[in-house]
Structure 1
Amino acid sequence: MNNISRRSFIKSTSLGMTIFATQAFSQPLSTLIFDNKKQNIIDLDYVIYDKGVKRSEEFAKKMAALGTKTYEINGDISNLWSEVIRPTWGIKNDTAIAGLTTYETLFVLQKVAFDRGMVLYFNAEHKIDGKDAIHNIKTTKNQFAKIKNNLGKYSWTETLALNMNSYPYEKAQIRSDLKSVADSSANKEILYSWIIAPRVS
C-alpha cells in the first residue's frame, strides 16, 4: 500500500479499472484471494452505494477500481434482499458487503445482518461540513493507525477504499475521531461507512 501514489490511484479510478488499480495489487487474482484467506482478510463480494448520493457513488467507483463488484440501492434494499442477502446470509456462502451510504441504508442492512447472524466488523460516521470532515471510527487499533496514517496522504474516500479493501476478520476494539479535509464538494451531509461479513469462529 505504501507504494501507491495518490496520482496513480486517482488515475486508475478515472480509467474505470475493475481489478488491481495500482502496482500494489498487480499480483494474479487467485494469489490475492489465497493471500487474503491466509491473512484472515475479509473477501468483499459487493460494495453497496446509494443512487443519487454523489460521495457514495464516487466511493463505489474507487472500490470497483480495486476489484470489488458494486451494487446500487435506489431507495430500498428489496433487490439486494432477493438477489444477494436471502440466497446467502444464514444459509451458505455468506456474502460480505461494504459501503459508504446514508444512515437509512445502514440501519436496514444492520438489522437484517443481526437477524441472519452476520457481523458489523467496521463502521464509521462521516460528518462533512464545508471544508472539514469529522470521522467517528469504530475499528481495530491497527486499522485505526493505518487510517490515520493514510489520511495524511490520500483523500478520506480514497483512504476508506484502500483500508476497507483489505480489512481483517477482527472485531472493533476502539472508537475515536479523526479530522480531514472534506473534498472538492462543499455539500454538507452525514454518511456512514461499514463492513458486514460472516461471523468467524
Structure 2
Amino acid sequence: MIHIGEVLVSKGEGGVYGERMLDGYRVWDPYRSKLAALYLVGTCPELKPDMKVLYLGAANGTTVSHVADYVEVVYAVEFASRPMQDLLEVARRRKNIMPILADASSPEHYAPLVETVDLLYQDVAQPDQAAIVIRNSIFLKTGGHLILMLKTRSVDIRKKPELVFQDTLDILMSSGITICESTWLAPYHQDHAAIVCTIKHPV
C-alpha cells in the first residue's frame, strides 16, 4: 500500500468523488471508505498489481476506484440501478473495473462472468451478510482472503452491535472459515466492523 506520511493514497485518475490529490496521488479517505479505515485501524491484506478482486456492494464506485488503482481487475457487483449509473462512469475511466448489475445473494446469476479471485470483499447492507459472503466464497481461490464489512445495524437493529458482531463471527467459523482479524472501524465508521478471513474449500 502507498502512504505519503500517514496518509493512505492510490495512484490513478482522480475526480471520482471530489477526493484530494497529494503529490499526484489520490487521497483515500477513511471516512468515505471502510476499506481505507481498516488499513488505518487494523491489519488487512496488501493490494497487489496481479490480484483479482470480487467486490460485492460496489455502490457508486468510491472504494472500487481506489482498489482498481492497485490491482489487475475488480469485478464490481451492485444491485441498485441508481448507484450503478455512477459505477459505470467510474468503470469507463478505469478499464480494469467490470461492473455487474446483480444481487450478491444470488452468485449463480453472475458466475459465468467472474473468474477465480484472490480477494473477496463484501460491503452489502443486508441482514444475511454472513450467508452472502459464504455463498460467494466459491469464487475465492485457496489461500485467498475474504473481507466482510459488517454493518451491524443492517443485520439486526434490535441487537447490540457487539452481539451481532459475535454472532457473525460464530457463523463464519462454523462454516469452516478462518478468522484472521476482526476489528471495529471507529472512529471512522460507527457500529461497523471488519472481519478478515481465509478459507479452505469447500465451505
The answer to whether the superposition gives a TM-score over 0.5 is no
Q: TM-score, normalised by structure 1?
A: 0.32
Considering Cα pairs closer than 8 Å and 6+ residues apart, tell me whether 1 or 2 has the greater RCO: 1
Higher helix share: 1
Q: TM-score, normalised by structure 2?
A: 0.31
